[in-house]
Amino acid sequence: MAGRMREKDWSQTLLGPVKQWPQSLRTAVSVMLAAPEPALIYWGRELVVLYNDSARFMLGNKHPEGLGVSFKVVFQESWTILGPLLEGVLDTGEAVHHENLLVPLVRFGFLEDCYFTFAFIPTRDDDAEVGGIFIIVTDTTAQVLGARRLALVRELSLRTALSETVEGVFRAAEDVLGQSTADVPFCLLYELRAERARLVVHTGLAQAPTPGDDLAEGRAWPLAEVARSRHEQLIEQLPEGFATLLGGAAGAQPPTRALALSLSDAAEQESRLVLVVGLNPRIALGDDTRSFLRLLARQFATSIESTRALEEKTRRAAQLAALDRQKTQFFANVSHELRTPLTLMLGPLEDALTDLREPLASSQHQRVALVQRGAVRLLKLVNQLLEFTRLETGRAGARFQPVDLARLTQELAGHFESAAHRAGLTLSVDCPSLGEPFWVDPEAWERIVFNLLSNAFKFTLEGGLTVRLRLEADAGVLSVRDTGSGIPLEAQPRLFQRFYRVEGAQGRSFEGSGIGLSLVQELTKLHGGEVGVWSRPGEGSEFTVRIPRGHHHLPADRLASGSSTVARDAFQRDSFVQEVEGWIPAVPGPRPLPPVSPALAPEARPPSARDGRILVVDDNADLRAYLKSVLEPHFEVETAEDGQAALESLRHRVPDVVVSDVMMPRLGGFGLLRALRSDPALRATPLILLSARAGEEASVEGLEAGADDYLVKPFSGRELLARVQTQLTMYRLRGEAALQLGRELALKEAVQARDDFLSVASHELKTPLTGLKLHLEMLERMLPAPVRAQVSERLSNTRKQAQRISALVESLLDVSQVASGRLQLHHESTDVMALVADCLAQGREELERAGCTLTFEARGPLHAQVDPVRLEQLVRNLLSNAARYSAERPVELQLGEAGTHLRLAVVDHGMGVRSEDRERIFGRFERAVSARRFGGLGLGLWVARQVVEAHGGSIAVTDTPGGGATFTVLLPRRAE
């Protein structure tokens, strides 16, 4: 712009020839052109426009014709907004600042909404009157639009997230988008099903579309094409007559274009969504606008899909509830149907076992007894299912009558004495009389007691069982306590759920349907009571049943008229006892390993890395071959038949990942894992364990032992590939991290060695340097006057070089002291002005040698508690830095007060410091430019900063107006 302004014929402008310009205007133009920020000048009452290169964006296509033209001509479209502000500055002479001001501009052929932050600064002419306005401007359009649009997307997300139906999402979106016409003048969302479109959301319209018309059916837009391609499409011209349907604010410029975007991820979806968004004609359709509309579409799609998933979840929950009711009815029907054939089986079996006239042979008797026991157990399960379904459907048919609950409970518990004695357990029954009858259904109470006792017996391998009945204020409480394996805390809330079984529980048998405790809970609820459990793994469990006193809580139609004797089901009682006795000789053991499914195929798509080496370890040849076939298309694979063979292979060549079975001869998977982790050369090798032991405990055991992953059989080839690829990637990342850490440690050691060397070298150099100075002084005194006159210039140069070397040595000593934390300050009351004046006298020669003129501004007297030696060093370093980078230019030193601080500033007009270098130049051995050009060690500013911070002060560098750098130091006047 400087060249263009020099070439322009200003005589043809309102300002006239340059030689007629007032000096104040010339100065303002010089400052404007040198300013790195966008700056303009509006001069005179006509507001003639002048601007620098950085401000050309304000004119757009009007550059360069707008240079030297009145503001009212160049920016006539914004005069109604900026005109009063500018005239106010001219009239009052007061500066004005505005942030994010909306200014309409025609820069690229259309009226555009722009946002700027302005500083209008009055500029005086030579008569001290306001001659014009100096403007600093920042374009904040992107920030304002970005913040506004982000708020819109956030509001859309929050409002739609509260909706429980897709229709609710549509209505929430209409409410949010309807209030954001600046960014979304109108919005139409269409749902496409079988090539037919339905308008589900519309905003920005003065009236709703008529059902069946082109707009409602979407025939006015390229919906099918956008939905099929899933690519956005710009609609350059809106349909004919569409403008009459638009609403919007009065006087707002209606949109003429729109953008259609697909909201569906796949073109073959049954229901596809296409969004048509109107484009604000006063906002350019650039990358920012497209990104915003894509983000809006993605958020819209996410909200719809999430709500659809919620609706589907609700629908499925209703279906599951219906299925549950059907299942319950099915159990009831099946239970009824099974009881008949089971009765026909059990009758003849019982007769055959008790037939004394034609007794069975011993071997046949054992077989028939085995069948009879199985049938009894099956009938017990059928009866439990039938009872459970009756309870769930409200057809339990309970009859409540007053009974001696203590006597009944003691009698029921006595049936387990023989089984407890055979199992080596103690059975304690503590059921004193409660002093009053309790209203219960005797058969239901029998099932409660039997289920609790059989459950306790099943999970108690040693110790004993205790049955206790006691009376509390408003209830009778039955408790069954055992010394069994206990129940994990996390499993206790689910104990009374149907079909729930504690994973990995240690008991006499792994058999069971998982409905015993849930049946106890339902039968207790039938009595108006509640159940509870206390348990601690390794100590045992205690189950409690609380039954309210009296009968007012029970249905009146279910109460018996009085106490009566009910013939209880002896067969049901015997089935519980027989099952318990059948557990006694049983030895609990692990479940068999489930087989690996041969139908599992590897994923066809290979992982990203193909150069990994995998070692597969398994004693089963078929499984070993299968694992190899899965991995070999993607990795280099070797195999071993057990852990010992794997170790031998590992010591010859370390793989990237080991995949090993757990159960193997010679050395199993856990043994191989321990061997790897104990070998420093193999410790980092990832290992994936394969096991048929499912469940959290098995996985935790493997991971706690040091395995990197744990895979349960059966597994798919895809899952195996994913696990191996993950471990391979992590292994390589760990290697890269270790390498980077080693480099950092080596760098730290190198820096420490350098600091140590500098400390030693500085001390060693100081002694001969002092001797050199003394010898120079002696030589100068001993030389005869004529000879001294001949060599005086050489002696002077030698002395100066010695002083320079001395200064460098002092800098190196400072580096050593600061790096080792030995920089000490000796504060004393100091006449700062006198000290700085002495520094100037000593440093003036260096400045003059660099061709710099020095100006010293001070307001005194100034005294402070500082270290005078370090303060003198600070001033010397700053002046030396200014002389080095401001050759042939003025240097200013300012000294004054800033509140409770001293303010010292060194101002140069040299090359300046880039903003990205302002922090770096205060580092050790750092410079803003190459050392070859300006020399020096790069320590002066670093030492200066250390001295300032040791005083509790601060140092900063800023730009000097017109070019250069200003170093400002603030030091507390009192030592802290």
Distant-in-sequence, close-in-space partners of 402: CB < 8 Å, separation ≥ 6: 437, 438, 439, 551, 562, 563
Q: Quick one: average pLDDT of 25-36? A: 92
Higher pLDDT, 418 or 480: 480
pLDDT of residue 603: 39
Residue 482, pLDDT score? 93
What is the model's pLDDT at position 250? 46
Report whether 514 contacts 501 (CB < 8 A).
Answer: yes
User: Which of 212-221, 652-661, 834-843 holds the top average pLDDT?
Assistant: 652-661
pLDDT at res. 944:
86
Q: Identify any residues that bridge with 891 across adjacent strands, giving them in sequence order.
A: 854, 908
Residue 95 has pLDDT above 80, yes or no: yes
Q: Reply yes or no on whether the pLDDT at 952 is more than 80.
A: yes
Residue 280, pLDDT above cutoff 50: yes
Query: Which residue, among 965, 803, 763, 785, has the nearest Cα to 884 in the 3D structure?
Result: 965
Lowest mean pLDDT among 108-112, 207-211, 369-373, 567-571: 567-571
Closest by CA position to 477, among listed 409, 388, 559? 409
What mean pLDDT do residues 613-625 have? Answer: 81
DSSP 55: G
Taking the C-alpha atoms of residue 321 and residue 329, their distance in angstroms, rounded to an integer, is 12
Contacts of 631 (CB under 8 A, 6+ apart): 602, 614, 616, 637, 659, 720, 721, 724
The phi and psi torsions of 353 (rounded to 5 degrees) equal -75, -30
At residue 608, the pLDDT reads: 44
User: What fold does the segment set 823-972 form as a domain?
Assistant: Heat Shock Protein 90 (3.30.565)
Mapped onto helix, strand or coil, the DSSP state of residue 8 is coil
Q: Does 2-139 match 397-551+570-583 in CATH topology? A: no
* Neighbouring-strand partners of residue 658: 615, 687
The mean pLDDT of 937-948, rounded to a whole number, is 80
The CATH class given to the 2-139 domain equals alpha beta
Q: What is the mean pLDDT of residues 401-429?
A: 90
Per residue in 750-784, pLDDT (tens digit) is 666 666 665 565 555 666 766 666 766 777 677 77
Is this structure's pTM higher than 0.85?
no
Span 397-551+570-583 CATH architecture: 2-Layer Sandwich (3.30)
Band of residue 266 on the pLDDT scale cut at 50, 70, 90: low
> Span 846-867, mean pLDDT?
84
Which of residues 103 and 859 earns the better pLDDT score? 103
* pLDDT score recorded for residue 248: 58
DSSP label at 241?
T
List of residues 6+ apart from 391 with CB closer than 8 A: 519, 522, 523, 526
Domain map of the chain by residue range? 2-139, 397-551+570-583, 613-725, 823-972
pLDDT above 60 (res 604):
no
The sign of the torsion formed by the CA atoms of 385, 391, 394, 400 equals positive
Right CATH for 613-725 from 3.30.1390.10, 3.40.190.80, 3.40.50.2300, 3.40.630.30: 3.40.50.2300
In the predicted model, is pLDDT for residue 377 greater than 90?
no
The predicted pLDDT at position 72 comes to: 92
Residues 961-974: what's their mean pLDDT? 90
- The DSSP string of 897-936 is EETTEEEEEEEE-SS---GGGTTGGGSTT--SS-HHHH-S
What is the pLDDT at residue 585?
47
Query: Please, how many CA atoms are within 13 Å of residue 849, restricted to the half-sphere of its CB?
Result: 10
